[in-house]
Structure 1
Amino acid sequence: MKTNKLTSAVRLAIGAGAVTAAMPVAQLATAQEEMIEEVVITGSRIKRPDLEAVSPYTTIGAEEFALSGTINVEQKLAELPSTLPSFGPSSNNPGDGTARVDLRGLGTSRTLVLVNGRRWIPATQSGVVDLNTIPGTLIKRVDVVTGGASAVYGSDAIAGVVNFNMIDDFEGVEITGLYDMTSDSDAEKYNIDITMGGNFAEGRGNAVIYASYSKREALFQGDRKFSNVALTENTDANGRPILSPGGSSGVPGTRLFDNPTDPVTGNSLGTFGPNGEALPWVEPDSRFNYAPDNFLQLPQERYLISAFSHYDVNEKVRAYGEFAYSYNKVPQELAPTPAFTTVEINPDSAFFSTEAQRALDTIRTDTNGDGVVNGDDNALGFIGRRMVENGSRQSIDVRDAFRVLVGADGDISDNWSYDAYYSYSNLDQSNSLNNDVSASRFIQAVATNDAGTACQDPSGGCVPMNIFGAGNISQAAVDFVNIGATNVTSISQEVLSASVFGDLWTIPSADYPVAVVLGYEHRSDESSYRPDTFLASGDVLGFNAGEATAGRYKASEFFAEVSIPLLSDKPFAEDLTLWGAARTSDYSNLDDRVNSFATAVNWSPLESFKLRFGYQEAVRAPNVSELFLGQSNGFPGADDPCSVGGFQPGVTDVGLCVASGVNPADVGKFTQANSQIEGRFGGNPDLEEETSNTYTVGFVWQPLDSLDITVDYYDIEVEDAISVLGGSVTNVLDLCYNVVQNAGSDFCTAINRRADGNVDRVDVLNANIGKIETSGVDFNLYYSTDFGFGFGGNGSTLGINFNSTWLDEFDVTPVAELGDRVDVCAGNFGNTCGSPLPEIQWNTRATWQSGGWTFSGLLRYIGETDDDQIENGGVAKGELAAPTIGDEYYLDLTVAYAFERGLNLSFGAENVLDTEPTKLGDSQEQANTFPSTYSLFGPRYFVSAAYKF
């Protein structure tokens, strides 16, 4: 019976809940032997082959990456129904060059990424791991444990753990390569890897060295029809909502938001022609289409070097070490600088037509302070100017990172073993910003003499700049205002960990002894961000100003686990095991110790049927970024309730709109200048820890030897969740004008308006908000069967994996004191909820293998979602141009052949159905869609080869 249980546990590790492709029979047997030897991760540190999973989990095998032609591992993880796609190869703005994983949609900071069960290199000051630093071709398998794992692995694991198990016992030399392109012969990706390894000291040791080079070519939004025009929501002549070309109010000809009127003709001056003519502003025709200049696929260049080694010093001690180095360069490219600022304009300048001069003369003010408004004064105007003459903005992120680890493990006695290690990792990031504009020099250069030949303030070598009309800025003026910046981030982490594992006694009614783990971990995190002088001063127009960030904290933690087999081989109790874990942590940045604990019950009333029940109470301490991040600016999509697009009659407080700076006649009538509203973000050293409660209930059923079915229900609640004030910029606006309606509230005081009534900036520093609640059901199935037919008379094997998630609830309460104000996000997307959270997602892979041939297909389904304004804002579907993102299907196909002499070839096609994303207007992330969620490029084709000798 024990042997059956052991084999069952291994089969579940390979199959139930897995997306591992079917392997040849010989390879499958080898994989089973390896898994028995090393013991798979099941959400526990206890190393015992009879232990069943204590939390819902999924396994991705190495063959899945090979069949998918995946260079960047985040793309494969993003396909799992239990993850919310995060930053990836199309994250241009927003984006920072990293690739991330987000379990259950709870945020990347609540997902812990491990390599070989240990912490990996932090890539940001929030502690997030950049998956670009993990080599896909060296992965043995990836274990994804959801439902929380903080008590076992640390506070970051509120949503779960993603553990990359790497090949560390390789023998021989293997060279692999891949080339990938779209059906339009663009957006190419390619890489070449070499792995060398072998045993030494008569088999007592093994060393593996791996090197990789990868490159990804750029693709612009202008290269695809769905993204080549920035879309916005509008109405047609009959008042019906439509998507129409939109863009920015910062235009090459300059937008003058004051809209002065020529007293002679009565014409309004909203923008300027190429010769300084006074032109009206026409919505949306006058707007600038910024889309074509943005990346749709970010270019990337990456070098990876890894080494793993272990050596049996004696029967009791095995020494091991790991080394990793990565160089990753990822540029971002955005449209030219949008200069939104107040300037002094000389109405008598030769830059203007007579009509424009008369209109500008009406807004002269006493700029020289002599108490008289006359021809010696300038006009003050708030303008939006797109600096196309200065070129596109570039942000180039280069991350150099390394990690070293040394450790030892072994047996203390027949029943007890130990493991101890020390690791140090360091990352240096250089962020270069090109083609930005100095705010002070811009303002100085705009104020010219009457002839337009000199600056009114000639200091610093000022060059007069004619921004009034497209293409009028001279190269000399461009050189005067153009600035660049180089910002440096340094991050280091030290981890010292030691643990012992052992068996105690055996309860008479059970077959296995009580097993325990006792351990200690000390971690030190330190990071600093040193912005360029221009950036730190805020004297920039095109990039987000930022302040220096520096901070550190230490954590000392004791943890313990126990597994208590209660019953074995009894009627209706083939197995009954109680499991528990606890962790107590002392953080240097918190006043008191914090504690996490978890418990689970595994009950097998029948050998083929297993039930599991789990509960976890966990805490997450704020990280360096959340505590100490210097204030910086961002531009998320948001709706101003005082504008025509966001106003809710009978709900929005008109008086509050007026009191905050909107003209009474314009409330609910003016058009918001831009769909993006500037937010000021930053750390808060007064943050407290967040807490979570997680419940899981599930079963594993094996009705046939070749069929495994798992079903798991999860319910997660995060209280005092760390986020930005109110949860988002759009939430703060809504809370101020539609909910709280108190000018003295934190939400209203966070809003700053311009003279023309538009929102200038919303200050949303980090805060402990209300809570996040999510629940759902995972359903996974694995089936395999053998056939008597196949190539060469060898027979064949068919394997089918099906993985799905039903999202029942995802609710965010942005303010604890306003418990009735809940943002419902399950089945929705938009400026409040962010990326789509479909209620149903699934994928299934079918793989048929015979002889050296493998044929495989992956079908993915993403369910329908609605604009979150419908459920949360009371907006009718008929009032929106793109109220729904329909359900989408994606089909990938692969054929591979393994030659007898160590050569393997694979050919594949992704998105064979040529599924294009639904076009969106104002409720989008970027590129008129959510590019990390939906396929953007049409069909992709790849060829890969691996040769081992």
Structure 2
Amino acid sequence: MLNNKVSKAVRLAIAFGATSTAAFSASSFAAEEGAEKVERIEVTGSRIKRTDMETASPVQVTTAEEIAVAGFTRVEDMMNSLPQLEASNTAFQSNGATGTATLDLRGMGAQRTLVLVNGRRMQAGGIYTQSADINQIPAALIKRVDVMTGGGSSTYGADAVAGVVNFVMNDQFEGFEVDIGTTAYQHDNDNKYMQGLMDEKGFEYESGNTGFDGASFDFAATLGGSFDGGKGHAAGYFTYNKQNELRQGARDYSSCALSAAGTACGGSGTADNPNFYISAPNASGVVDFDDYEYWSLGQDSSFVSGDGNLYNYAPINHFMRPDERHTLGMFANYEINDHFRPFMETMFMRDRTTAQIAESGTFFNDNYLIDFDSPLLNDTQRQQLADRFGLGSGDQFATYIGKRNIEGGPRADSLEHNSFRLVLGSKGEVNDLWSYEAFAQYGSTSSSSAYENDFFGPRIATALSANGEDCSATDGCIPYDVFQFEGVTPESAGALTGTAILNGVTEQFIVNAFVTGEFEFSLPSSDYPIAAVFGAEYREETFSRTADEVYAQGLLLGQGGTTKSLNGEYDVTEFFGELSLPILEDKPGFESLLVELGYRWSDYSTSGSEPTYKAAVNWDVNSDWKIRSSYNRAVRAANNGELFAQQSTGLWAGSDPCATATPSLSAAECANTGVTAGQYGNITKSPADQYNGFFGGNPDLTPEIADTITLGVVANPFEDFNFSIDYWDIELEDAIDNIDPEIIVEQCGKTGDAVFCDNIQRTPGSGSLWIGSGQVIATDTNLGNIHYEGIDVSANYSVDIAGGTLKTSLIGTYMLSKEFDNIPGVSEVYDCVDTLDNGCFPQPEWRHVLTANYDTGSWWRATAKWRFFSGVNDYTGNDTLVKDNGIGSQSYLDLKGSFTLNDYTSLLIGVNNVLDREPPLVGGTLSTNANAVAGYYDTLGRYFHASVSFKF
């Protein structure tokens, strides 16, 4: 019977193993001494180690070879190219950058994607995110990456709502290898549409061939081998990566910021030549928006109309941040005997990056009272104030000022992350049927943010003091000569800036132990034994973030609000188990039928106990066809940021539907949002599409509950061809998030419901949501329901051609629905598949990667890859989105050549996006950076890469 089991296991492994990206591990079943002993393996999705069956959960496998040939020096870029993932935090972000790289499976949010290394979770990434930072992972030592859809909470605990991404490291690496590589971008700036828009505004831009830019250098050294007669093994690595910056001005399509509709170049009213809202003070001592002027400065320093005086802030912003990263680590194990095999994993990373954005400014942030007799004014201006508002000597006027600090240079956020991860444990045999694993794990990330060269609010007020006396009495103060045309000097601008410092440490401590094996009995209908795993885990998550007073009080005007300190911690005690129940085998239509069950009980210190569980069926119809299905109950408790973040002001990107002379909402609907009859049609929109919000955590959050169903078929219908098709459905209740402020305003207008309308506070007089005190309250809460469903497709085919082998593979995802019901019974349900409305991420219905690899069997190999995104065309806005009324389908062609120069040296050369396709352009409310969905679609044009490997 044992030989039959091994034979069947080997047959399954051959049929669906190394070439399949569907259900089965690439590991084969190794037989020893005439098949008397077979290797027990663990596959992502289950901790049960078996010799004869695999997990029923669908798993997409990306091999080390596929990662290498992709040519990416950042792991995030490789992962975001997979159809199952959306771009989250990436290197292509500047304003609001976290400095980390996170993964977002299915677009459900990085906080709902559990990231593992060798089946063990990673710690939070830093001061701005509670999700894992995959910058820590060395690409050179990755053996494979498993992406499992369908929840994994019963196996791995919280956060596995959308699924699991498991980085399996090559901890058995042998030899010494050095990899040296370089990359660069190149693009032909010939976007006539964007160039035409910039010509209309008189903006400058680059044209023609850019040459090579945005270059990077990559170095990796890996060393591994056995010791003490093969009892022990160790593998160590060191990597270094340096990425040069690329600014938005390097591409014509990002050299101005598009309007929300994408039909014009926008800009900021906080301009190099300042703009002013000016009036006589109202009863509250602020600008009277019932009787005011919007003025700028003429070259003679007189007040003139400020209409059209906008600053093009885009070119100086980073399109891709500069970055310098070091990683090092080691994986080691030693066999003392069959029962005690200690192991160790250690990983360290240091990463530094700088996010540069346009110069700071006054941003119409504060209301200033200026003396009519102030020495900052000239006689012409005083006469204009007298003629327009009847002011005279001894009076004051009120003003909001929009002055860009071009004299002082851009703002920069210097971000640093230092992460450390240590695992100490042991595994071994309990007896012939059972084995154990126990480990303690500690992970910590210390990170910092130094925000430099931003305007320091109190100094502005002093430098604009009503009669100049406050400035003259303050050391280092230089009057802010903002009322004189080009009157501000670099020295006076420099005296007005400040720096804010934020430091934080996140810590994770885990103790985990489990036993896994097979019982000596089976079900009456089966010859296979029942297998199981039983275990317990204790996990503690601590987060501490300390903001200096500048951050905490929001004293830098370019921050859009305050950034508070954050301190929080929670712990969870868990008990878990799994059963693998062979039902029957070797029957007509049932080569094997297996049921998998899992249960985990979790007790959180913050929200109490919650169970998670799973049930799965694995039905091998015959040796060539498999049907699988699973149900998972997943739970995600709120993290430290969601629970304990202090509530504070900030900015949100979008539009106010009650702004402009032609609001998209009616007068009655805008009245629901707090707009008076006199304000309707007279509210100024934000030129930068940024509005004030009030955000923060909520200690009363309850856990999210998700139910996931998968149903699929895996087949090997004929030789050299296999495929899998899996349907998946995820329904999430009590989703933890904040309602998009733009949706709050829209839903308030349409429904008048207090649930929305009570969260809108418009500035008295102006009705604005971006000037003065206006804001939308959008703190974290347990929202309504989220429903995602789709179909994953994977296929592999190989054929011998012209003395070589052509291997082709396809992975694709078809999205059926992506529905949001923020407040059931109150809000409208909306679907984000193939739509750009409601603040949706541009989710295409279909996305695939088709790869063809030709191996000559000699010294060279060629690879071609086609990456495809279907169009996203459902857009019902009042204006056309860019020039195509939506996002058209996108195709990218990648070509690679691999060359074995000798026994020790190999070379890889490739070009991604050979045809130099630009990213689809989107308006200001949809762009994540530079008029693009940056890091999702190809962002910077052609991508050249070359690397050489030395193996000894």
1:422 aligns with 2:440: yes
Aligned partner of 2:401 in structure 1 is: 383
Q: Of 538, 555, 560, which residue of structure 1 is paired with 2:572?
A: 555
**Is 1:403 equivalent to 2:421 in the alignment?**
yes
- Is 1:8 the counterpart of 2:8? The answer is no
Q: How many residues align?
A: 899
1:822 aligns with 2:840: no
Aligned counterpart in structure 2 of residue 583 of structure 1, from 585, 593, 600: 600
Say which SS state the counterpart of residue 85 (structure 2) adopts: coil
1:154 CA drift (Å): 0.8
The residue aligned with 2:763 is 753
Partner Cα distance (1:693, 1:605) in 2: 27
Q: Sort the Cα spacing of 1:877 and 1:608 in 2 relative to 1 into closer, same or farther, 3 A.
A: farther
Mean CA deviation greater in 435-444 or 579-588: 435-444
- Report Cα offsets for 1:541-564 as digits up to 9, x if no partner: 012421110000000000110110
Contact 1:321 1:407 in 2 (8 A): yes
User: Distance in 2 between the 1:822 and 1:847 partners?
Assistant: 44
- Which amino acid in the other structure matches residue 226 of structure 1? Y
Aligned residue identity for 2:151: G
Distance of 1:65 and 1:416 partners within structure 2: 35
Task: Give me the whole-angstrom Cα distance separating, in 2, the residues matched to 1:333 and 1:589.
Answer: 38
Q: Which amino acid aligns with 1:395?
A: D
Alpha-carbon contact 1:524-1:553 (below 8 Å) kept: yes
2:58 corresponds in structure 1 to: 56
Q: Matched residues in 1 for 2:465 and 2:667: separation?
A: 44
The match for 2:203 is none
- Map of 2:105 onto structure 1: 103
Matches within 5 A, 1:834-913: 835-849=841-855, 850-866=857-873, 870=876, 875=877, 883-913=885-915
1:828, 1:837 within 8 Å by CA — same for their partners in 2? yes
Which residues of structure 1 form unaligned runs of 5+?
A: 21-27, 235-241, 366-372, 791-795
Hey, what's the Cα distance between the residues in 1 that align with 2:57 and 2:853? 27
Is 1:640 paired with 2:666? no
Partner of 2:205: none
The letter for the 2-side match of 1:711 is I
Structure 1 residue 613: Cα displacement: 1.2
Aligned residue number for residue 411 of structure 2:
393
Give distance in 2, aligned partners of 1:174 and 1:879. 50
Question: Aligned-pair distance for 1:673?
Answer: 4.6
**Among residues 276, 284, 287, which one is paired with 1:256 in the alignment?**
276
**Separation in 2 of the partners of 1:254 and 1:188?**
37
Indicate whether 1:293 and 2:297 are aligned.
Answer: no
Report the Cα offset of residue 231 of structure 1: 1.4
- Whether the aligned pair in 2 keeps the contact of 1:10 and 1:32 (CA below 8 Å) is no
- Aligned-pair CA distance for 1:706: 1.1
**Shift in Å, 1:19:** 13
Query: When the two structures are superposed, what TM-score results if normalisation uses the length of structure 2?
Result: 0.90
Letter in 2 for 1:278: F
SS at match of 1:478: helix
Report the CA distance shift for 1:10/1:597 in structure 2 as closer, same or farther (over 3 A): farther
Asked if the contact 1:842/1:862 (under 8 Å) is kept, the reply is: yes
Task: Give the Cα separation in 2 of the matches to 1:32 and 1:11.
Answer: 15
Match of 1:197 in 2: 224
Task: Output one character per residue of 1:50-109: Cα deviation in whole Å (capped at 9) or x when no partner.
Answer: 323322210000011111112111111111111111111101123211111111110000
TM-score, with length taken from structure 1? 0.90
Describe the shift of the 1:420–1:463 C-alpha distance in structure 2 as closer, same or farther (beyond 3 A): same
Give the counterpart letter for 1:729 in structure 2: P
Shift of 1:11: 4.7
Kindly state the Cα deviation for residue 387 of structure 1 after the two structures are TM-superposed: 1.6
Question: Match for residue 544 of structure 2?
Answer: 528
Q: Structure 1 residue 224 and structure 2 residue 239: aligned?
A: no
Aligned-partner residue type, residue 759 of structure 2 = T
Instruction: Specify the alignment match of 1:278 in structure 2.
Output: 303
Distance change (3 Å), C-alpha of 1:564 and 1:31: closer
Assess if the C-alpha contact under 8 Å between 2:372 and 2:392 holds in 1: no
Match of 2:503 among 488, 495, 500: 488
> Structure 2: where are the runs of 5+ without partners?
33-37, 187-210, 282-290
Contact 2:582 2:593 in 1 (8 A): yes
Structure 1 residues 91-490: aligned runs within 5 Å:
91-124=93-126, 126-183=129-186, 184-233=211-260, 243-258=263-278, 269-282=294-307, 285-339=308-362, 340-341=364-365, 342-349=367-374, 351-352=376-377, 354-361=379-386, 375-449=393-467, 455=470, 458-459=473-474, 461-468=476-483, 471-490=486-505
CA apart distance, 1:528: 0.7
CA distance in 1, matches of 2:869, 2:327: 33
Q: Is the 8 A contact 1:408 1:421 kept in 2?
A: yes
Which residue does the alignment assign to 1:237? none
The match for 2:284 is: none
- 1:706 and 1:946 map into 2 onto residues whose CA distance is 31
The question of whether the paired residues in 2 share the 8 Å contact of 1:641 and 1:668 is answered with: no
Q: Residue 623 of structure 1: CA displacement?
A: 0.3
Q: What letter is aligned with 2:19?
A: G
SS in 1 for 2:664: coil
Q: Is the 8 A contact 1:865 1:884 kept in 2?
A: yes
Structure 1 residues 81, 267: closer, same or farther in 2, change over 3 A?
closer
Amino acid at match of 1:716: I
Distance 1:397 1:244, change over 3 A: same
Helix, strand or coil for the counterpart of 2:309?
Answer: coil
Q: Contact 1:651–1:738 (CA<8 Å) still a contact in 2?
A: no
Q: Is 1:800 aligned with 2:808?
A: yes
Q: What does the per-residue CA deviation read over 1:507-545, in whole Å, with 9 as the maximum and x for residues that have no partner? A: 243242110000101000101110121111222201242
Q: Cα offset for 1:667?
A: 3.4
Matches within 5 A, 1:535-546: 535-543=551-559, 544-546=561-563
Question: Residue in 2 aligned with 1:238?
Answer: none
- 2:377/2:484 contact within 8 Å kept: no
Deviations 1:658-716 (A, max 9, x none): xx355615437644454111222211111111101111111101102311110001110
Equivalent position amino acid for 1:188 in 2? A
Fraction of identical pairs, as percent = 31
Q: Contact 1:141–1:165 at 8 Å: present in 2 too?
A: yes
Secondary structure at the aligned position of 2:626 is classed as strand
| 1:771-810 superposed matches below 5 A | 771-787=785-801, 789-790=802-803, 796-810=804-818
Q: Is the 8 A contact 1:45 1:517 kept in 2?
A: yes
Q: Cα–Cα, structure 1 residues 633 and 55, in superposed 2: closer, same or farther, change >3 Å?
A: farther
Q: Does 2:605 correspond to 1:570?
A: no
Q: Is the 8 A contact 1:260 1:269 kept in 2?
A: no
1:816 Cα offset (Å): 3.0
Q: Which residue of 2 aligns with 1:813?
A: 821
Deviation at 1:940, TM superposition (A): 1.5
Give the aligned residue type for 1:815: I
Residue in 1 aligned with 2:616?
600
- In structure 1, C-alpha distance between the alignment counterparts of 2:324 and 2:58, rounded to whole Å: 36
Matched, 1:932 2:935: yes
Q: 1:758 to 1:563 in 2, by over 3 A?
A: same
Give the superposed CA RMSD.
Answer: 2.7
Call closer, same or farther: CA 1:274–1:415 in 2, change over 3 Å: farther
- CA gap of 1:93–1:662, structure 2 versus 1, over 3 A, is farther
- Kept after mapping to 1: 8 A contact 2:540/2:571: yes
SS in 2 for 1:155: coil
Q: Conserved in 2, the CA contact under 8 Å of 1:275 and 1:353?
A: no
1:182 alignment partner AA: Y
Given that residues 637 and 831 in structure 1 are in contact (C-alpha distance below 8 angstroms), is that contact kept between their aligned partners in structure 2? no
1:17 correspondence with 2:21: yes
In the alignment, residue 515 of structure 2 is paired with which amino acid? Answer: V
Give the Å deviation of 1:786.
3.0
CA 1:599 to 1:623, structure 2 compared with 1: closer, same or farther past 3 Å? same
Partner amino acid for 1:228? S
